[in-house]
Structure 1
């Protein structure tokens, strides 16, 4: 079975099935009151780890439906093709995962899903994304939920002034295995000291107060914000692809 496949061109005359959840998504435990970098249990239940049995853990992705994980094209190549998706992870060092304030409040175990194949967007450099299809349906649980994507016209044109990124920090100064989160701020090319002529139109520049916050362990992960839609829910507007060369404290993401 070919693990890395090329995607098909969009056909406007074709009736595609609706695979993305519109109402039951983005329902993590949104916690805007805490200023600590450590996420709470159930706060980011859509974050996935891309894992290869021979090479280990490489990048992040986002659960978007029962069968698909969204990630950056930078994360997958002929040398690294994931064969397992890890879902429901919160603390790398503990099993089961429990709330920091209440060790009796614990999540179910993490889940492993086999990869059937990866679909690559083959002919549009503006959207350097991959879709990972699992061999079986992902069961949604308290600690495993799909993220929301901006499917409506209103959300597609919504531009928050700040976003949240999250993932596992492998910085040597970091001793916790818990998901770390960071608030980032939309920035202009002038602020980042780069020439925007060399950037695709759908690249989102942002700044952060921390050095290299979007390092390799954040690549492929979600860039989003809590939006007031059927309550508050997390909407993914972009994904992390990496730092900007020659820029100061700025990072590149792909927005949808």
Structure 2
């Protein structure tokens, strides 16, 4: 018999009058144990200067790649333990091919290895470089069974790598919401990390990993902004809305881009992934007012943990 731990938490919907989840979230403790307790800690924390990321800043960022395509396609993802990457299935369905491998430790497509210039207290600058990127074949993947391709709802996939990846300063796992407090709350101020994409091939990354300041937004306000822009997306409790704060805005496709924040987890500041970006208008002007629709990770924690294997 499988023993389930009932986290006494009702996920609080961020909108009045929309459907709410009323059942407690149930997570299998043996599966939950497959997620590392040591997670979400980068060698250097997120910096607030500009949108360009630095080496070592987001060591959990993963790329899901396809070799058998005219141009290498890319899905975004995050490393959640030594064998699994959390990504999106819509990218796989659109490519119409199975993904081939995971690339970890990438911060820029322009350099390998990636380096950062770190300002010292005395005003001098020290250059520090990460190691080379790591590529691991994908052994298998699991798509969410309720994925709806026309609407791209429940757009999640777990990619299992053929071997364990060894953690280091530039390859580390992100935290997922596993405690009642994290399952119930999403911070107001958040950070989204997304790749600079090729304008002609929007599934192919070409530049550097970028970071954008975004703000938690209630679904009522979010829905009004979409209606004013002429969109009528489906809003329900599994969705999450976030408005870009500017002055820089991501204008390319960013399905699968992680949205998270550094929060206190049992006395340690850790980066927790609270959502995964799903949809926003491609018009850059519209994105200044129309929020990003995302998937709330807390609503999928049961599915995620149940599909993990040792």
TM-score (norm 1): 0.83
Asked if 2 retains the 8 angstrom alpha-carbon contact of 1:30 and 1:233, the reply is no
Q: Which residue of 2 aligns with 1:7?
A: none
Asked if 1 retains the 8 angstrom alpha-carbon contact of 2:43 and 2:169, the reply is no
Alignment deviations for residues 122-177 of structure 1 (CA, whole Å, 9 cap, x no partner):
037664311000111111111100000010001111221121111221376xxx93
Residue number among 258, 273, 276 corresponding to 1:222 in the alignment: 258
Alignment of 1:68 with 2:90, yes or no, is no
Q: Distance between the aligned counterparts of 1:231 and 1:70, measured in 2?
A: 23
Q: Distance between the aligned counterparts of 2:27 and 2:97, measured in 1?
A: 35
Alignment of 1:100 with 2:117, yes or no, is yes
Residue number among 196, 203, 207 corresponding to 2:239 in the alignment: 203
Pairwise CA RMSD of aligned residues?
A: 2.8
Q: Which residue of 2 aligns with 1:213?
A: 250
SS in 2 for 1:76: helix
Structure 1, unaligned stretches of length 5 or more? 1-11
Asked if 1 retains the 8 angstrom alpha-carbon contact of 2:219 and 2:240, the reply is no
Asked if 2 retains the 8 angstrom alpha-carbon contact of 1:92 and 1:177, the reply is yes
Q: Tell me how far 1:252 sits from its aligned partner.
A: 1.1
Q: Tell me how far 1:255 sits from its aligned partner.
A: 0.6
Stretch moving more, 231-240 or 72-81: 72-81
Q: Report the count of equivalent residues.
A: 240
Residue number among 240, 245, 253 corresponding to 2:277 in the alignment: 240
Task: Give the helix-richer structure, 1 or 2.
Answer: 2
Structure 2, unaligned stretches of length 5 or more? 1-25, 119-124, 200-205, 298-310
Q: Distance between the aligned counterparts of 1:226 and 1:44, measured in 2?
A: 12
Q: Distance between the aligned counterparts of 1:14 and 1:37, measured in 2?
A: 38
TM-score (norm 2): 0.69
Residue number among 40, 45, 48 corresponding to 2:54 in the alignment: 40
Alignment of 1:191 with 2:208, yes or no, is no
Q: Which runs of 4+ in 1 moved over 4 A?
A: 12-15, 244-248
Q: Which residue of 2 aligns with 1:181?
A: 211
Residue number among 111, 131, 134 corresponding to 2:161 in the alignment: 134
SS in 2 for 1:155: helix
Asked if 2 retains the 8 angstrom alpha-carbon contact of 1:99 and 1:105, the reply is yes
Q: Tell me how far 1:13 sits from its aligned partner.
A: 11
